[in-house]
Structure 1
Amino acid sequence: MTAHAMALSAPAAPAADFTRFSTLQDWRRQIADLYAAVRGLPPEAGWRQWRAVRDRLFREHPQSPLTGKGRAEFAGIACFPYDPALRFEVGLVPAVDRETIPVEAGKDGLMTLVPYALTEGLAGPLGRELTLYWIAGYGGGTFLPFGDASNGDGTFAGGRYLLDTIKSADLGATPDGRLILDFNFAYYPSCAYSEAWVCPLSPRENRLAVPIGAGERDRID
């Protein structure tokens, strides 16, 4: 059978996929637009914009990670106050002699994280450097999950995300090429909101011994 004939005989996608994929496309477009806007604003103003748009998306968008009950009770994403001391401009050096990390990704199967860079500039203020991973697969993307001493005691036990360029979560770089890492923009993976999601969590090597009092946090009632 030719490839063309195989394509013609492939089962049609269910109609439900149209809604799921088109709304997911819209969600990703809005997130990409948000980060593009944030990169053009002063840091704290960009953070306020980031919070406002994410609150709206979580409350209204069909692809919100919130369940029906969670959405009905949603009062905004809880965050620590903005702390300019937790915004960094870091250099990068190669991560050498490091093994790839397979992680479970639910319906998507196994995802492979390839360590490719280490930060330069976090060891002093935060106690250690962090590893950046490349998500292997078509297109790929940079991924920076991290854990810290606040996990399970004020923030999600599984850690938070700082960069995920497949999802456009990227604050960019300085004109001289230093990477901008602003922990005020740290956010929870979707699995923090619903068991329907399976998310890659931070490898042990990206666990900070200090608490990071910035970014998304547990709501205090």
Structure 2
Amino acid sequence: MKKLVLIAIVLVSVFSCGQNKRPILGETEFQKTINAEYKDATTSPLKDKDRKSFRGLDFFKFDSTYVVTAQFKRVENADWFNMKTTTDRVSKERVFGVLSFELNGETFNLNVYQGQELMGKEGFEDYLFLPFLDQTNGNESYGGGRYLDMKIPDSNEVIIDFNKAYNPYCAYNDEFSCPIVPRVNYLKTRIEAGVKVFKNH
């Protein structure tokens, strides 16, 4: 009898530990990676109260329609300008190139930017910033638009995967200073891909 009780206690303990250590949610590698990052106190932009109850971000379902091949045209000798942010800070940026692509039978253009400060940091020398607005903003997705990361391409063709679009950190915590998406990067269409508006469950 004592053995049975002991086994029951061990099983309950194991089950409880399993309950507390919830698996990282996500259907794609990108979704699992960003959920793990946001769950980790050392890398998460979430407020402590939100992170403690965080189970995972909401995403549009992966859709290969939003993986597009874009033509990349480098902009030579572009002037540096002050990109506004959600705080008083400005981010020194320049238009590095223009991406042209087709989506659902329409042609769109997006400016891709290079940050002066970031290009001097180790590991970010070839980093490019691709922010955009679209017609899901303020409803299914964050009102301030979303971001994509890019590297300086070695050809005039680039794959844009909108399924990897993510929210600025200030969508989760107003302590962050986030670049405001330039209006020129407004896509007059619905980008039903990537991270949705944040609602902690």
Please indicate, yes or no, whether the TM-score normalized by the shorter chain is above 0.5. Answer: yes
**Higher radius of gyration, 1 or 2:** 2
Out of 119, 129, 152, the position equivalent to 2:109 is 129
Q: Counterpart in 2 of 1:189?
A: 168
Q: How far 1:200 moved relative to its partner? A: 0.3
Greater fraction strand = 2
Greater fraction helix = 1
In structure 1, what is the Cα distance between the partners aligned to 2:197 and 2:145?
Answer: 12
Q: TM-score normalized by structure 2?
A: 0.72
Out of 182, 193, 196, the position equivalent to 1:203 is 182
Q: What are the superposed Cα offsets for residues 29-68 of structure 1, whole Å, 9 maximum, x if unpaired?
A: xxxxxxxxxxxxxxxxx97111112212211232200111
Identity %: 26
Q: Which 5+ residue runs of structure 2 have no aligned equivalent?
A: 1-25
- 1:89 aligned onto 2:75: no
Q: How far 1:202 moved relative to its partner? A: 1.0
SS of the residue aligned with 2:134? coil
Aligned-residue RMSD, C-alpha: 3.0
Between Structure 1 and Structure 2, how many residues are aligned? 169
Q: What are the superposed Cα offsets for residues 153-197 of structure 1, whole Å, 9 maximum, x if unpaired?
A: 11111100012x5xxxx5x86x96521100000000100000110
**Structure 1 residues 99 and 125 mapped into 2: Cα distance closer, same or farther (>3 Å)?**
farther
**Structure 1 residues 94 and 195 mapped into 2: Cα distance closer, same or farther (>3 Å)?**
same
**Structure 1 residues 125 and 188 mapped into 2: Cα distance closer, same or farther (>3 Å)?**
farther
- Amino acid in structure 2 at the alignment position of 1:146: F
Q: What are the superposed Cα offsets for residues 135-167 of structure 1, whole Å, 9 maximum, x if unpaired?
A: 11325531100000111111111100012x5xx
Q: TM-score normalized by structure 1?
A: 0.66
- 1:52 aligned onto 2:32: yes
**Is the 8 Å Cα contact of residues 63 and 163 (structure 2) preserved in structure 1?**
yes
